[in-house]
Every structure is written in structure tokens, then in C-alpha cells.
Structure 1
Amino acid sequence: MKADFSRATFRPAAHYSAVLSQQGRVQLDADANEQAAIELHLARTTAADVIGPHGGPADGFTVAYVPSPDGKQPADLAITPGRYYVDGVLVDSTPAPVFQAVGDDQSTLDTQAIGYWNQPFAYLDQENADDKLPGFPFLVYLRVVEQLVTAVQDPLIRESALGVALPDTAARSQVTWQALPLPLKVSSQRSNPEQQFDQWVEDQTAVKSHLAAQVEKPAGTDDDPCLLAPDAAYRGPENQLYRVEIHGAGESATFKWSRDNGSIVFPITAVDGRWVSLSSLGRDDKLAIEVGDWVEAVDDATTARGVAAPLLRVTELDPAGGRVLLDSEPLIGGIAARHPLLRRWDQQGPGLSDGAVPVTEGAWLNLEDGVQVWFQAGGSYRTGDYWLIPARTLTADVEWPRDTAGRPLLLPPAGPVVRYAPLAWITSDSGITQLRRTFQHLPTA
């Protein structure tokens, strides 16, 4: 998650059961976050052990097919609100209560049911052919992702008593869901769509890339790419949490990086061509936006779709007007309800491909101040895959696991974690097989 963390310390393999505070000690964000992660891991592991890979009570997330009423409007799905568990994670589609405003008639309250097109986290477009439901047969599945929410997305998080000049406080983690179609080829009645779906999920979630990190070795040291020289050093002036994130997938993969875990963002208030108005240009020199910076214009919709927006270059600043001029028009609009923002990335210099760094396997790649990364040969890269690298001034080193010989280990991406569960197999307007697994409440007597 792209928040202003010092580091992420939760390690399931360590089997820690609690974080214990000690008197007179410094309190760190990482300790509190690790305690939350331990409790969440326990709750979700317990739920998965009891329920299995997926399941839920009653009729939550039951799917019905709604054909086009006139042949012009696209077909739809009706999704029953409720709760479902995927890998132990609670997915709740229960609508928020709708309250009547003073002076409004009761008939104005919006009690719209959940459909395919109005899912709260999907942001589907009826004009986009890729979003429309495919022809029969197809499987409807649940895609579950946990995302970060800050005061930019939810202003109620901010404590107004602190004033607007101070930074926000804690962020939130939110479970989001999407019910999406997956066309499957069924050669005979004996073919099992669930087995095909499981194979598809296995491919989607397989680990296909690895990265290692170190600090730069001085010139003239051992050429072994996995041996860390004793006098290698991190030269940065501050402690940082570097985020290396895959931007472009495929054979010509690229990555972008941030020294602040991608947390430096600037909420957009208006878009006028290449001119973008921002709520602030930054609180100080470290957190400001400058000419030459690479930024990504994103909103809730692009985040939900998991796509990489084009990286745009800041070419001019208008401090008086609170605006920046970009080298191209952003693809998103200024829809306030979707919380548009510019996210700053820190890669600079020659050799960039549309603002991102080409992935070069089997060689140490320089980020800055001595920090280097190594992509394992033969990798396959997915947009959004990321690694976190804490860099510390006191040790002049990065915190990265090493083997007994001191060589940095190759690690899989830290995320994002995407969970999947099948909901329904649809073969015709009325040919629907529910694939949900349900359980009953314990008896009351």
C-alpha cells in the first residue's frame, strides 16, 4: 500500500503472536502496523481453516442474469447483497444506510440494487465494449483486493481540529470487490468450469518474478553480482522506504520507483487540457512537485482496474494559481467523486521509456544514493507488482535479507495480493448454476 510508512515488518514465517511495548521506548508506526497485521492474519487464517477457500452465509453474492430489455441496452447481472469469505477475507456488499435529508421526500431515497454496471468498486463503462458481458457460456467470479484509503479518498478520516496545514494521521485498509465475467471454452457437458477457473487463478497468482536489493559496491571490488562489498554504503541524507513497482508488463517490461513508497500525492481539483489544478503543490521541498518530475494521474477507477496510467512530465509550475502544466493531457477527468490525484515518482535521467525504467535482467540497476536492484533472469512481469526496500542512514545500508554468505536474496513481489472465488456459471438467460459455497448458522438451542 502506498502510504507514508517507515517500513513493513510483518513476517508470517516468524510466527509472532503479539507486539509487546516496553517502557521508555520509542513508538514506531511499524510496530503498531505489525500488531494489526498479526491480528488480521490470525482472524483470516482461522476463517479460512473453518470455511475453506471461499464460502458465505445465506444468499450473499447470489448472481442472476438480466438480459437486455430492448436489445440496445447491455445485459446486466443482479447481485444479492450480503457477506462472503475469500481466503478468510470478509467481503461485505451490504449497502450503506441511506438517510433522508431535511426537506426531502422519502421517495427520493436511493435504494438501487447491486447490478453488474453499478458495482461500487468496478467503475464499468457501458460504452466500453471490453466491459460488456460476453456471450454464453461464461463464469462470474469475485475479485477481491485490499486497498489503501487516506484522507484524500475519505475526508472524514482527517481530524479537522488539527487544521489543514498539518499532515493527515492514520490511513485505512479497505476490502474492495468486483464481480467480473470470465469466458471459458467448454468442449463437452463433462467439462468442469470450476476446474478451468482454478487453473486460470493459478496462472494469475503464480509467482513469476524475483528481485534483490543492495547498496552499490565501490569500483574495483569483486565482480560477483551477489557478493556485497564491506565498504558499500547508502549515501542518502534521510531514511527512506523505496518502492520499486512494475509499470509496463510484457516482454518490454518497465518499472518506476519512489523513495517514499509512492505516498507523495497531490489531489486534483480541476483539469483543463494539460493544465491541472491541485489542492497543494507540496508542504516543503521534500514533498513538493517540481518541473521535471514524473507523475501519474490516477483516480478511484484506474486504481480499481489495476492499470498503469501513462507517466506524465511536469513542464511548468504556476504557484500563484496552484497549477502544473504536463507534457500530455491526463486520461482521467476532474470528477471529484472519483478522487483524482497526481502521484509523484522519483526516477530521473536518460534511458527512460515513456518515463519508466526498462527492466534489465541479470544486472544491478542503480536507483539513487547507492541503492541498486537486480531482476532475476527469465521473469514475467505484471503491472502493479512491487517490492519495498528500507534504506537507513545510521547503518548506511538497505534492510534486505541475505544468506549466510552475505549475498542478497531474490524475493517475490510483496504485492498486490488479489484473491478470487467463483460465483456462478451462466450458460443462457435462465441457465445459471450457483458456484457459491454456503454454510448455516449454528443452532440457537
Structure 2
Amino acid sequence: MKGDFSRDTFDPLKHFSRVLEQQGRVRVDADSNEQTAILLHYLRTLVTDLIGPYAGPEDSYGFKIGQTNNGDFTIGEGRYYINGILCENEKLDNGKEDITYKTQQDYPNPPHLDPGETYLVYLDVWERHITALEDDYIRETALGGPDTGTRTKIIWQVKIEQWGKTNPIPESCKKMHFEWEDEWVTRWQPANRGLLKARVKRPEESSGPCLTAPDAKYRGQENQLYRIEIHQGGKVGEATFIWSRDNGSVASRVLKLSGTELNVEKPLGFEPGIWVELSNDEQELRGGKPGVLRKLIKVEGDRFTLESPLSTPSDIPNNEDWPTKVRRWDQRGDAILVREGKGEDG
């Protein structure tokens, strides 16, 4: 979650039951955020223990897959729980029609559905971080519109997986049920998703493990929550990553793009020489597709100048606005190549 947080202290292995504030102490965001996480962990674990990993209420059983027509199908209204997470599906704005595969609010431009093929239809659920960039409603209008707290939102997406030679159709629903975790969930969410070790840069002339180089910028007074994020997936030597000292929280809405000129709503935190990522909400909702990186060479008020011209990527549909936001990253160069057992200075 790319918010301006001091740190994330929740650890389920600690088995803490609540946070207790003490008089005369400094209040920090980490304490209240941890209290929320403790309660949410308790509720979701309780729901899973009571009803199982997936279930819905009898009188409002949601997400029933309905009639197919012209490469589309309906998704019934109601509620459903996935690992204790509540998913809610309402009808379309007119209150009369069920939404369909193609009209899902949080799954823009889903993959094409061929009427002549057979598909597995499944529900993918995750939690998305929402700031004032994604939803202007959460700004505090009484104070002139600053962003205060952020939100998280449960994103559910009805997706498809085509049956084929590598995905043979199961003999029965019962067999599918027994194979669900090992064959399917493991494929989409493998247990080993990559591990990382990181350390600050040591002075070249010293072998002491406790010394850090001045240019590592790790010894300043300001609080920093480092974020390292895979930018382009792939094998070792192909995948790349980007990083930020501020959890990737420095971002602004894009007002206009013309060649190398970029007009933004909030220039605070941007400076010449850094690299920025340009993207839109739809890329994030389509499985976290990476944005486009460009070097920022000039900042004049709310007008940025990029090192090279920028055009809309070929995989962005014509009906989408792009870019809608720009985000600061701290590496002094393009995305960094992932190397096995070896880091690279940013």
C-alpha cells in the first residue's frame, strides 16, 4: 500500500489482542493502523472458522453465474465470503439488471470470451489501497480539500481460465473440489513468490558491518519507509524492480500530457533527476500492470519536462484516459535488473 505511513507494525505471530494508548505519549499512525489490522484479522479468521474458506448466505447467495449471450454472462447479486473477506455485488445503477462479465466495475476490459470454448469461471479477491488520487470523495472538503487518511477497498473480479491441453476438464465437480487448492490456487498464488534481502550501502574503504556510507541517506532525522517493488516480472536477469524511500507515496494527478511536457495537480515532492512512473487506475486493476518510466529533467511549478516524449502504450484500450497519475521513484536510472544473490545500488 503506497501510503505515507511511518511503518507497518502488525504481525499476526505476535498474537496481540489490542493496542493501549498511554497518557502523555506521542500519537503515531502505526498504533491506530495496527489496532485496525488486529481487529480485521480477528474478524476474518472468525468468519473462516465458522463458515469455511468460501460460502454465502442462503437468502442472499451472490455471484451466481447466469445466462451467457454474445460472449458475456451475468453475475448474480448478493454476498459471498472468501477466506473471511466479505464480497458484495449489487445490481447495475438502474437496480433492475445484474452486472455481467463485461460490465464489472473493478475489472475494466476483461479478456475476450469465445462462445465456442469452455472456461473455468472463478472469483479473484484482493484489497486495494485507495487515496484521493483514486477517489476524490475522501478529501476533506471542509479544510479546502487536503488528503487526510486513506482507505482500502475489497476488489472482487470474476475471471476466466480457458480449458485446454494443459488444463483438462475435470471428470466431475467433486474432483474439481479436491484439486482446487493444489492445482488451481497454487497456480495463481504460489507459496514461493520470491524473497528479498536488503541492506544499506557500506563505505567502500570499510569492512565494518555497522557502518553506512553517507550517500546511502539512511542516517537522516526524517522517518523513511522503504518500498521495493517488482516493475516488470520475469526470470532472474529479466525481471526489474523500482524503489522508494517514501513507500511510493509521492504521487500526483496528471492534468495534461503533450510530448515531453506534463502538467500535474500537485508538484510537491518531485525534483529534477528522479524517475517517475506514469499509469492509470485500469492498469492497476488489470493485475497490477506496470506503468511507463521516464526521467524528470525539469520542474517549473506544476509543469514537468520529461527526458523523452511519451505516447500511450499499445496495450491501453482507446476508451481509457492515460496517464492519469504520476508517481516518484528514487532510483537514479531506469528500473533495476533483478540479479540472484546480488544487489545493485539505486
With the shorter chain as reference, the TM-score category is 0.7 to 0.9
Task: Choose from 141, 159, 164 the match for 1:180.
Answer: 159
**Could you tell me which of 215, 223, 230 is aligned with 2:200?**
215
Residue 256 of structure 1: how far off its partner (Å): 0.1
Q: How does 1:34-433 map to 2 (within 5 A)?
A: 34-57=34-57, 58-68=60-70, 75-95=71-91, 111-124=96-109, 130-133=111-114, 135-164=116-145, 167-184=146-163, 185-186=167-168, 189=171, 192-198=175-181, 199-205=183-189, 206-219=191-204, 229-232=209-212, 234-251=218-235, 252-282=238-268, 287=269, 289-305=270-286, 306-319=288-301, 322-325=303-306, 327=308, 328-331=310-313, 340-349=324-333, 355-367=334-346
Contact 1:54-1:85 at 8 Å conserved across structures: yes
Cα pair distance change 1:214/1:292, threshold 3 Å = closer
C-alpha contact 2:336 2:344 (8 A) present in aligned 1:
no
Deviation at 1:133, TM superposition (A): 4.6
Give the residue type in structure 2 aligned to 1:365.
E
Gaps of 5+ in 1: 69-74, 99-108, 223-227, 350-354, 368-445
Write the distance in 2 (CA, Å) between the matches of 1:88 and 1:163: 38
* CA distance 1:338–1:248, change in 2 (3 Å): closer
- For 1:335 and 1:298, locate their aligned partners in 2 and report how far apart those are by CA, in whole Å: 15
User: Contact 2:279–2:322 at 8 Å: present in 1 too?
Assistant: no
Aligned length: 328
Give, as a single letter, the amino acid of the residue that structure 1 aligns with 2:325: L
Q: Distance in 2 between matches of 1:334 and 1:190?
A: 41
Secondary structure of 1:3 counterpart = coil
Structure of larger gyration radius: 1
Aligned-partner Cα distance in 2 for 1:61–1:172: 25
- Residue-by-residue CA offset, 1:296-334 (whole Å, 9 max, x unaligned): 112221110111122122344453x63544622243699
User: What is the Cα deviation at residue 62 of structure 1?
Assistant: 0.2
**Is the CA contact (8 Å cut-off) linking 1:152 and 1:339 kept in structure 2?**
no
How far apart are the structure 2 equivalents of 1:143 and 1:188? Answer: 20
Post-superposition shift, 1:34?
0.2
d(CA) in 1 for partners of 2:250 and 2:185?
33
Quick check: 1:271–1:334 contact (8 Å CA) kept in 2?
Answer: no
Deviation at residue 194 of structure 1 after TM alignment: 4.0
Cα deviation digits, residues 19-64 of structure 1 (max 9, x gap): 0000000000000000000000000000111111111123310002
Whether the 8 Å CA contact 2:66–2:73 is kept in 1: the answer is: yes
Q: Per-residue CA shift, 1:327-349, capped at 9, x if unaligned?
A: 22243699898992111111104
Among all aligned residue pairs of Structure 1 and Structure 2, give the percentage whose two residues are the same amino acid.
Answer: 38
- For 1:351-377, what per-residue CA distance to the aligned partner results, in whole angstroms no more than 9, with x for missing partners? xxxx1011122124334xxxxxxxxxx
Of 10-19 and 339-348, more deviation after overlay is shown by: 339-348
Separation in structure 1 between the aligned mates of residue 303 and residue 318 of structure 2, nearest angstrom? 15
**Counterpart amino acid of 2:73?**
L
TM-score by length of 1: 0.67
Instruction: Specify the code of the residue in structure 1 equivalent to 2:231.
Output: H
Mapped to 2, the partners of 1:172 and 1:243 lie a distance apart of 19
Cα RMSD of the aligned pairs, angstroms, is: 2.8
Aligned equivalents of 1:335, 1:24: Cα separation in 2: 54
Alignment match, 2:12: 12
**C-alpha displacement of 1:273:** 4.3
Encode CA deviations 1:55-108: one digit per residue, 9 max, x unaligned: 11233100024132xxxxxx1010011111111111111258x5xxxxxxxxxx
Pick closer, same or farther for the CA change 1:93–1:22 going to 2, 3 Å. same
| Partner secondary structure for residue 143 of structure 1 | strand
Greater Cα offset, 201-210 or 3-12: 201-210
Contact 1:60 1:81 in 2 (8 A): yes
Note if contact 1:45-1:88 (Cα within 8 Å) is conserved in structure 2: yes
Partner amino acid, structure 2, of 1:171: T
TM-score (norm 2): 0.85
Distance in 2 (CA, whole Å) between partners of 1:133 and 1:307 is 24
Q: Deviations over 1:249-296 (max 9, x none)?
A: 1121110001110111110123334433211222xxxx1x23332221
Question: Cα gap change, 1:39/1:254 in structure 2, threshold over 3 Å: closer, same or farther?
Answer: same
Helix, strand or coil: the match of 2:74?
Answer: strand
More helix by percentage: 2
Equivalents in 2 of 1:334, 1:53: separation in Å?
A: 39
How far 1:178 sits from its partner (Å)?
0.6
